[in-house]
Structure 1
Amino acid sequence: MPTTAPAAQRAAQRRRKPQTSRRDDEAPIIPILARKVREVEAKAQRGKLGPTNRVKFQVIAFLVREERARVKADTEIADGARAELLKRLDGVATILAKTAARDTSLIQLLEVDQAASPVARRMRRDWLLESGADLADDELIITDVAPAPATVVPPALAERQVVPVAIEARQTANPFLAPDLTVRAPKETPRRRLDGWELMGPLYKAFETGAGGSAASMDLPAVPEFDRLSPRGLEIMPHQSRFLEAVREGHRTFLLADEPGLGKTAESVIAASVANAYPLLAVVPNVVKMNWAREVERWTPQRRATVIQGDGEDIDAFADVFIVNYEILDRHLAWLSSIGLKGMVVDEAHFIKNLTSQRSRNVLALGARIREQVRDPLMLALTGTPLINDVEDFDAIWRFLGWTNGEKPGPELMERLDQTGLTPADKAFYPEAREAVISMGIVRRKKKDVAADLPDKLIADLPVELDDEFGKSIRQAERELGERLAAKYRRIIEARGDRVQVFDGPDEDIVRLVAHGELEEAKAAGTGGDNVFTMVRKIGQAKSLLAADYTVQLQRSVGKVVFFAKHIDVMDAAEAHFAAAGVRTVSLRGDQTTAARQQAIDAFNNDPGVGVAVCSLTAAGVGVNMQAASNVVLAELSWTAAEQTQAIDRVHRIGQDEPVTAWRIIAAHTIDTKIAELIDSKQGLAARALDGDAVDPQSSDSVQLSALMHLLRQALGAA
């Protein structure tokens, strides 16, 4: 066990400075643990405990245990000082316990063997060295365990695997040209100066703080003098040319994070041709499968694309591009991992941010297998909104691209970090680290920077009064929910024995705790009972006819309009109103076939008689081009800024030649107003982390949690 303050050293310190001895002299590790546990607590309160902070939780718990045993056993410590140190350690342990109560999955991390990973051991070592501890050689040098080979098809999915007959034909058609599926042994890499440092936390911090202040986009080659890539009759834009030049020069992994509407699909399709990355797999949302096939045919007419539906009975096994949606990928893992894929595109890559979901595990396993089998495969992650709530949303995307393994940077990124000559102990490390990650292949362009002829967009809020009985019942339900939250808050205050008066301001930790508890209960209840979700749905229902009526007026004055709603009953009510007003509509919903959805899109864009497209905010919010309109009506609000942006950008994209206006219908004097304000505040994260904008840090709380906290403060008279 390390000794953080040897007895001889403490005695010497007392002789040199008897009158200024600090209470931390006896246990200098405790202030470090106190600081670290507050960091973990803050993340847990926001529901954002990512992998790095989970490891921190482990290490803090084990160091508290070690330090408590050391303090009790050290006979050089006076009884009074020992009691004070143990009290401070108990304070750290109490915060750990409260954090584990919020997220019970943390409890299993306290098993004795859980803190033995190289990352946890490095973190423990770094903190002890910061405290001035003397460590043995075997604690200073920490080696990594060789990773186990990736398993593409987990046992739970083995029985679901299908192999289309056409794929069997492909695999046996020419045995002399069978793909080389040999798993490549990982290269042995030399030890590097930073091998012993815990680096994932500092990398996230570098982006979270927007270190460096510049846009998160790698240096790209200049626009070539001649366009040799566009097929006859088409022309790629200059910003697309620069990206494709980087591919032509040999770069193969990209997080293509251009704002929505700048042509990421076309860039990816042409990039596969430039890199000759065939067969290519595109994993995409269901609603854009047909659009992807069209883009392949449009930009690379010499290549064939096939869309995988169901069990894949009708696929073209000899196609160059295989297109599959996330929902059915699990049953096609086996054969996709065996046909020699040379590239993979993940569209709307923020869909894989939840590492515990089967969807994410499927994508990451396939990506790992391709990197094992192919030297320099083309790996593209496409998303205009890579960050939803927290900078650790990058984690899964970086893993897919092979830049990190979740615990440490990969060899190439490690080399770039090593070349900086800095460590996380140096302040200058953070901007350099951010640039190192960006140089791995982050490409982020904003519309205003690369498409000067693309019109600006305006979000205009239209407050509406819900003055009927339905509206009155909604406001009454809001007041009752606020009072219910306030009652819980007061019970906690009374049980704690505090005498805090409301006019002194509520205890924000308890406000968050009460709101978080209510949110979890609401999620469990779903559409049952009165909670924040049912309340917002009722607001949408109450606004539906008002929003539809405004849309009719708008359509008669400006032409085509896209109408977005979140719930089917709101869409149904709006469509009935449009029909009664004599306005022809098309509908885009989640239960449509791909062909029916594309037919509706084509009718809206090409038929002058179609005036309104009634769209599901979730089903039609990505991968849909509807630039025949320049006006969008948002009848219901989303829970995320990203979802709202995606919806508006179905209209505000390349090909649009008019200014775009999004009309948000807001129910005045209800929680709707606060939700709109919260959505707008969430725009700061991406602006800070990706674009280098000087935006004040905003809370990473979800909109739902923030809305409930607002209701509680309002009920306590402190809104």
Structure 2
Amino acid sequence: MARAGQRRTGRARPDPGAQRRRAPRPSEKGIIPVLAGIARELDGAVRRPPTRPAVRTQFQVAALLVREERARVMADASLTAGKRDQELKRLDGVATLLAKIAVRDTTLLTLLAEDARVSDAARDYKATVMRAGGLEPPEETAPPAPAAPTPSASSPSSAQPTSPAAIPAEKRVVPRSVISRQLANPFLAPDFEAAAERTAARARRLAGWELLEPLFRSFEQAGPGAPACMPLPEARSLSASFGRELMPHQAQVVAATARGHRTFLLADEPGLGKTAQALLAAQAADAFPLLVVVPNVVKTNWAHEVGMWTPLRRATVVHGDGDKVDAFADVVIVNYELLDRHVGWLGDLGFRGMVVDEAHFIKNKGSQRSQHVLALSERIRTRTARPLLMALTGTPLINDIEDFRAIWQFLGWIDDTKPLGRLMTALEDTGLTPADRGFYAAARAAVIDMGIVRRRKADVVADIPARRVADLPVELDGAAGRSIRAAETALARRLADRYRSAEAARAGADAADTVGGEVDLDLARRVAAAELKDSSSKTGGENVFTMVRRIGQAKAGPAADYAAQLARNVGKVVFFAKHVDVMDEAEQTFAQRGIRYASIRGDQTPKVREKNIDAFVNDPDVSIVVCSLTAAGVGLNLQVASNLVLAELSWTDAEQTQAIDRVHRIGQDEPVTAWRIIAAQTIDATIAELIDSKSGLAARALDGASDDDGASSKDVQLDALVALLTDALAAERLG
């Protein structure tokens, strides 16, 4: 009887973590009853806000296990149809309860996103729940962390980012140029100031408090309604190298760096010149050599910007295994996808600064690229006192306030468990604790003062022109790029052969003596005109039109990639292309990334066209409109966007201007930026320069000149071929 009474008492006051003493019924065996118990427990906890971190962890684990168990049941061939339906019905009951819980606190839904961070505590709890349900937790697949001393109360958390030593040896490479640099400078002098910097701040009054969660929440609870931006000094000068000038808002960041500030979360909107600010900040801080980690699509543009803003500094771009890397360069540019191969030598090169472009790429701390970035920044901080660390992103937050976590850790403001250095000192100096009413506002201000800089176009509208064209050079890699460069070489060779033949026919047998002399530009133009005539008659072989078409096809991927980044940063984006296949590839890219788009093409009926325009203008979920340069270049009002991407070049400035004017028109209250995608080191770059040089034709036409658009397009085509020919002849003379 006593045992029976104990059983009744156990049912009256269940303990979710304890094993039941009576034999469970068949329906109570397995993982589903355990998940149901957790869901009931969560239902009660969420009814008593605020939702604690432990409750959020329980919700995430329960929801993930429901998802995994459903997939397992669906794939289990040993189950009968009736048994499978029964199990799925039970899982639906748990899922329904979890959905009701999420309705009460919608922030829980962010824990179920594909890139949501799963903490170590969540993994441990998941293993506990699985064992309670009779399942064996899977073995961890992450590489083991390197051996380290047991952390003390004052040492960093043992949960460190992946070190270069943890990367599989077969993936690591060390370029020959790097070995040469190491031999030239076999050791780096110790920096004792760096060690002093790491031990300067000791937690005292706040030692027992959980501070990271309140810091994150301070940006939700204590925001004044204005962009977060640290106080910036007024710049004394707007001058940069070789006659270039900064805009006032750019010069402020450079001035702050010159005064000694060394960490920045630079979150200006796209189009406000973050790249120039980062490079000139590195110049002011003498932070060379500088490591720059970027998305692949802007890798070449960064090298171009180094040449523009810091022309006395050499840049090198890491491709593939780094065979062409110049390890003695001042700026090393690498894309995220290559870090796994190069993180070892990058960590040992002795960088004095590091810039991470599109820093929201590292928001998922569990991803390999995030771990590599964090390991590199930690390595730099270990070797250099107060290095320049800059995270550039127009959208530091994507889903949740915790998207800040990896960026702040890269900047050295926090580690896995607590604030560090100057941030910890600033929190101590407030005299407040998280239990005090004023803590959240003071904490938010302390973080912003660490280096958060956020300006919108609307904030600095006086600094920037109402309309501008920004070129974004991209490298054409792979087989397509090699094929295009080979075709361009063959076309240049054919032009040179024609020129020499024409020269020989005109001058007679002694013409060979004149080949090494100056190029006859009049003859070069006649040769180019003959080639253009043959190309227009669609004769066989590669010509300037087919080559430009292939370049457009090769640029489709990078152009769509950049448009997708812009859409996530600024919202509405207009994407212009000339050819249907380029539009098709762009739309496929957007669909794969879950970005909603509308399409405006020449073969659409007026009704379909109006429907798609209305979707882009009025539906906030439609981020991009993909437009035909010819079909949508006139008659459209798309001023809901202030950014557009020109994926392919037209042959005239007028056609380009008409496209830009779809956005830059009455009703537009923001500066407009047209991002023109240029294939670097190809005839595409020459065509862009020629279009710009002939941009005065439209103005002259408005003033009564007789230039027509057809003539100007032929001029660009002809001049492009002349440039190709003269470059080929010059190379022959030098070779």
TM-score (normalizing by structure 1): 0.51
- 1:432-491 Cα shifts (integer Å, max 9, x gaps): 11100000011112223234153669xxxxxxxxxxxxxxxxxxxxxxxxxxxxxxxxxx
Q: Which secondary structure state, in structure 2, belongs to the residue aligned with residue 359 of structure 1? A: helix
Q: Which secondary structure state, in structure 2, belongs to the residue aligned with residue 281 of structure 1? A: strand
Q: Which secondary structure state, in structure 1, belongs to the residue aligned with residue 386 of structure 2? A: coil
Residues of 1 paired with 2:594 and 2:305: CA distance? 41
Tell me which residue corresponds to 1:169: 180
Contact 1:179–1:340 (8 Å) recurs in 2: no
The answer to whether the aligner puts 1:388 opposite 2:388 as a matched pair is no
What aligned pairs does 1:44-443 form with structure 2 within 5 A after superposition? 106=122, 108-110=124-126, 143=153, 146-148=156-158, 151-153=162-164, 155-175=166-186, 178-180=188-190, 184=195, 186-187=198-199, 189-224=201-236, 226-227=237-238, 230-443=240-453
Residues of 1 paired with 2:173 and 2:55: CA distance? 39
Q: How many residues align?
A: 435
Q: 1:253 to 1:293 in 2, by over 3 A?
A: same
Residues of 2 paired with 1:57 and 1:534: CA distance? 27
Residues of 2 paired with 1:98 and 1:31: CA distance? 6
Contact 1:256–1:444 (8 Å) recurs in 2: yes
Contact 1:181–1:338 (8 Å) recurs in 2: no
- 1:387-444 Cα shifts (integer Å, max 9, x gaps): 2222221111101001111322113211111211112222211111110000001111
Using the TM superposition, give the Cα deviation of residue 382 of structure 1 relative to its aligned residue in structure 2, in angstroms.
0.7
Contact 1:217–1:438 (8 Å) recurs in 2: yes
Structure 1, unpaired ranges of 5+: 1-28, 41-50, 62-90, 115-141, 458-531, 566-570, 612-719
Q: 1:270 to 1:550 in 2, by over 3 A?
A: closer
Using the TM superposition, give the Cα deviation of residue 202 of structure 1 relative to its aligned residue in structure 2, in angstroms.
1.5
Q: 1:155 to 1:538 in 2, by over 3 A?
A: same
What aligned pairs does 1:534-545 form with structure 2 within 5 A after superposition? 540=599
Q: Which secondary structure state, in structure 1, belongs to the residue aligned with residue 343 of structure 2? A: helix
Contact 2:643–2:675 (8 Å) recurs in 1: no
Using the TM superposition, give the Cα deviation of residue 554 of structure 1 relative to its aligned residue in structure 2, in angstroms.
2.7
Which residue identity is paired with 1:292?
W
Contact 1:257–1:386 (8 Å) recurs in 2: yes
Residues of 1 paired with 2:389 and 2:357: CA distance? 11
* Larger of the two Rg values belongs to structure: 2
Residues of 2 paired with 1:434 and 1:557: CA distance? 44
The answer to whether the aligner puts 1:599 opposite 2:685 as a matched pair is yes
Which residue identity is paired with 2:173?
V
Q: 1:188 to 1:443 in 2, by over 3 A?
A: closer
Contact 1:206–1:431 (8 Å) recurs in 2: yes
Residues of 1 paired with 2:123 and 2:350: CA distance? 42
Contact 1:290–1:595 (8 Å) recurs in 2: no
Contact 2:230–2:451 (8 Å) recurs in 1: yes
Residues of 1 paired with 2:298 and 2:460: CA distance? 24
Tell me which residue corresponds to 1:554: 633
Contact 2:43–2:101 (8 Å) recurs in 1: no
Residues of 1 paired with 2:686 and 2:369: CA distance? 28
Q: 1:604 to 1:548 in 2, by over 3 A?
A: farther
Contact 1:281–1:323 (8 Å) recurs in 2: yes
Q: 1:598 to 1:98 in 2, by over 3 A?
A: farther
Contact 1:58–1:109 (8 Å) recurs in 2: no
Q: 1:56 to 1:243 in 2, by over 3 A?
A: farther
Using the TM superposition, give the Cα deviation of residue 537 of structure 1 relative to its aligned residue in structure 2, in angstroms.
7.7
Contact 2:42–2:58 (8 Å) recurs in 1: no
Using the TM superposition, give the Cα deviation of residue 190 of structure 1 relative to its aligned residue in structure 2, in angstroms.
3.3
Using the TM superposition, give the Cα deviation of residue 302 of structure 1 relative to its aligned residue in structure 2, in angstroms.
1.7
- 1:640-673 Cα shifts (integer Å, max 9, x gaps): xxxxxxxxxxxxxxxxxxxxxxxxxxxxxxxxxx
Residues of 1 paired with 2:675 and 2:404: CA distance? 29
Q: 1:408 to 1:209 in 2, by over 3 A?
A: same
- 1:356-378 Cα shifts (integer Å, max 9, x gaps): 22111111111111111111111
- 1:7-49 Cα shifts (integer Å, max 9, x gaps): xxxxxxxxxxxxxxxxxxxxxx999944567736xxxxxxxxx
Equivalent pairs: percent with the same residue? 44
Q: 1:538 to 1:392 in 2, by over 3 A?
A: closer
Q: Which secondary structure state, in structure 2, belongs to the residue aligned with residue 406 of structure 1? A: coil
Residues of 2 paired with 1:284 and 1:304: CA distance? 17
What aligned pairs does 1:26-41 form with structure 2 within 5 A after superposition? 33-34=45-46, 39=51
- 1:123-160 Cα shifts (integer Å, max 9, x gaps): xxxxxxxxxxxxxxxxxxx9466434654225344321
Which residue identity is paired with 1:384?
G
Contact 1:424–1:430 (8 Å) recurs in 2: yes
Q: Which secondary structure state, in structure 2, belongs to the residue aligned with residue 208 of structure 1? A: helix
- 1:587-639 Cα shifts (integer Å, max 9, x gaps): x999997645983894597365999xxxxxxxxxxxxxxxxxxxxxxxxxxxx
Which residue identity is paired with 1:606?
D
Tell me which residue corresponds to 2:565: none
Q: Which secondary structure state, in structure 1, belongs to the residue aligned with residue 242 of structure 2? A: coil
Using the TM superposition, give the Cα deviation of residue 284 of structure 1 relative to its aligned residue in structure 2, in angstroms.
1.0
- 1:299-340 Cα shifts (integer Å, max 9, x gaps): 222211111111111121211110111111221111111111
Residues of 1 paired with 2:210 and 2:362: CA distance? 24
Which residue identity is paired with 2:364?
N
Contact 1:304–1:321 (8 Å) recurs in 2: yes
TM-score (normalizing by structure 2): 0.50
Residues of 2 paired with 1:30 and 1:143: CA distance? 32
Contact 2:290–2:354 (8 Å) recurs in 1: yes
Which residue identity is paired with 1:599?
A
Residues of 2 paired with 1:290 and 1:371: CA distance? 27
Which residue identity is paired with 2:420?
G
Q: What root-mean-square deviation, in Å, do the aligned CA atoms of Structure 1 and Structure 2 show?
A: 5.1
Which residue identity is paired with 1:298?
M
- 1:101-129 Cα shifts (integer Å, max 9, x gaps): 99596464255699xxxxxxxxxxxxxxx
What aligned pairs does 1:570-581 form with structure 2 within 5 A after superposition? none
Structure with larger RCO (C-alpha < 8 A, sep 6+)? 1
